Structure 1
């Protein structure tokens, strides 16, 4: 059999992968339209599609009949839908990346302390700024604290020029516990109104979605996913085992550092505007690994699409 020959098993796998990806895209588009329909201002799917068509210069479909329909769609609902898609994609991709580089299906972005660090930053900003701390101040504090915490976990776990997975996980657990103590302290000293805001932020929400937030999250999500796709082949090598990957010429330490930095970028930029959302990064890669297999060149985009769909449906249900 020649090297270019595709076996029936490979053909079946590619067909299944194509069907799964196409199904996710269609489901995501349908969920996005229906999510934009729901709210106090009644809007039908045809009006949502018509509004989008008119905005891009196409005279297709009806515009919203309600006087406030157009403004509601473009200033409230569409930013929320787009932010849900971006954050879901970022968390799904980050989960798949971290599980791949840790070779552990239980790994999720919170294990390296990025979510807890972001929560500390947000809590500190809320306490210092009071209950009415500006949203951008809280978001910037959460983003910076998340990055700093992740770097701290990596530095503390490094020994003799190497970083073992077990050490990273244990260091992450310790830093998470310390961050939990800081959050409890900030919650204790906060005013009642600020305390409510801290608790609300930790629950995670898309209520603060704006086009400004989308403009910040979008490039970081796209860059993070692109960077993850660039190292997908190396993640497949690492799945053979760390020792085997080293024998094949893979610089495991460098790959691990790059992966941790990508996860920090994806998760910090996401939770900065939405608060802590944990389930997507853990559950979605599991589902997609079953659906499309362990190959990261397919698993990563599938996890990003499924993450977007899951978060959009969760917001729709909420």
Structure 2
């Protein structure tokens, strides 16, 4: 696995795929750091991050307490900032005053964090309180969508558009009372129908703004549709679901399964991926496999 780490955490024994600066500053690519001089040369560059291959390194990067603590701290701070910005954006949707361009930097920030350390990012986002559940869930889904889209060779502009769509996909939950969203027991029929209405509500809220892309609107409306037509709100079938919608569904379900909710425990990554893969009538198996490769 390749991890993106702050350059000040570079150590001897790490295998460097690249340093994020121009070749004129530092030309080394795909090499093992064997001296303090090389470490100092990397620190002297204008780069902020370096890409490290954990499998080809001769030290156990995951066991480096300093690195782990730094990554967790940076991720916690990033998630807190992003959740606050997303909360403001959801409120702006309600008032009809969303500035879509403000969401791009939020997508970029969480994309950087999941690229740096996918496992750390998901561990942090899984620790959500009831009050921030919808916002942090949306951050995590957005980050997963962008990471998966890059693995599928989407261009940068589309990756960012998917990131914004992931941030907004659950905006319809603004209209669902928190008492229902956070209910520990089984939902009644009326409560269940209210929750199931959130994709259509979110779609209408965003469509009325007139500034969102068709892709964002589709993902907001259809992220609960599944391949066999048993999803909602329209019961669309496989041939009616684009790869982008399928991608959003896979990421949304995975994040929900691996997070603790008032009514369920958190599943392990492996259990969630296996459960989804075994239900090929619901989820695109190829996308489930590619999603799993993020955590290898």
TM-score by length of 2: 0.28
Higher strand share: 2
Which of 1 and 2 has higher RCO (CA within 8 Å, sep 6+)?
1
Higher helix share: 1
TM-score by length of 1: 0.27
Higher gyration radius (CA): 1
